[in-house]
């Protein structure tokens, strides 16, 4: 797996350019232990947060995305597995672009859960990595550091089900004067680190999709 992709090759323009490419890399069908150290409040889940209605589960064998963790996805959201290795079969130029889009920090995109069928514009994306010694906080810091323009990070620990990890809220440059909100969490499992990331077309879409993110977070378990 390739780590440390340079920041200069990723950004809004690249994301738009790669939309068609990533569509071709996506396969599958709709879906029918880290450290919590760092700043912010301690772990305890999202009991006060709004949680979306459950629509299915991903992560287990036979689901749309087979992952080191399982979690529920919101009603009408559609999950598809991402085959990052398929980028090796395209031209060298497109492979470089795909590498920049599909790899961030120490993890690689493995699953894309689309909000469009539920009426929103955005994705909950799942990134996975190789087993190692890095804790959840370190994985998440490397992930955010590899996103161009990321700033105003607020880290905190969390606990959900049988996992503990680290969560971050941060912003990235928006298309206008307003910075775009983003949120991500990381856990470390025997199968390697996992990052769940929620962005959105704009802040209104991001806020509308937060209940789906909270559903995934509060139902997170390591895959048996």
* Size of the chain in residues: 224
Spatial CB neighbours of 14, under 8 Å, sequence gap ≥ 6: 97, 100, 101
pLDDT of residue 124: 97
Please state the φ and ψ torsions of residue 108, each to the nearest 5 degrees. -125, 140
Write down the pLDDT at residue 6: 36
- Write down the pLDDT at residue 89: 56
pLDDT at 224: 82
Backbone angles phi, psi at 223, to 5 degrees: -70, 130
Helices (H) and strands (E) in the chain, counts: 5, 12
Q: What is the pLDDT of residue 33?
A: 33
Burial of 179 (0-12, 13-18, 19+ CB in 10 A): middle
Q: What is the pLDDT of residue 78?
A: 96
CA 112, CA 90: separation in Å to the nearest integer? Answer: 20
Block mean pLDDT (10 aa), the chain, length 224: 35 43 43 37 48 93 96 96 69 69 92 95 96 96 93 94 93 82 96 95 93 96 90
Provide φ and ψ at 73, rounded to 5°.
-110, 155
Q: What domains sit in the chain, N to C, each tagged with a CATH number?
A: 7-222 (3.40.1000.10)
**Predicted pLDDT of residue 46:** 39
């Amino acid at each position: 797996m390739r780590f440390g992709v340079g920041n200069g090759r990723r950004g809004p323009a690249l994301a738009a350019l790669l939309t068609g490419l990533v569509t071709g890399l996506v396969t599958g069908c709709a879906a029918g232990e880290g450290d919590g150290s760092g700043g912010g409040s301690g772990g305890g889940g999202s009991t006060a947060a709004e949680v979306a209605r459950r629509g299915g589960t991903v992560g287990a064998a036979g689901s749309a995305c087979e992952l080191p963790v399982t979690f529920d996805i919101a009603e009408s959201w559609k999950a598809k597995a991402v085959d990052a290795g398929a980028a090796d079969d395209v031209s060298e130029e497109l492979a470089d672009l795909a590498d920049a889009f599909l790899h961030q920090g120490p993890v690689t995109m493995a699953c894309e859960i689309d909000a469009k069928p539920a009426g929103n514009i955005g994705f909950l994306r799942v990134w996975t990595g190789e087993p190692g010694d890095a804790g959840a906080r370190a994985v998440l810091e490397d992930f955010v550091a590899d996103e161009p323009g990321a700033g105003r990070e607020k880290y905190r620990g969390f606990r959900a089900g049988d996992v503990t990890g680290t969560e971050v809220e941060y912003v990235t440059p928006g298309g206008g004067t307003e910075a775009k909100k983003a949120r991500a969490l990381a856990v470390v499992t025997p199968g390697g680190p996992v990052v769940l990331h929620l962005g959105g077309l704009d802040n209104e879409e991001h806020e509308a999709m937060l209940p789906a993110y909270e559903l995934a977070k509060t139902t997170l378990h390591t895959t048996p």
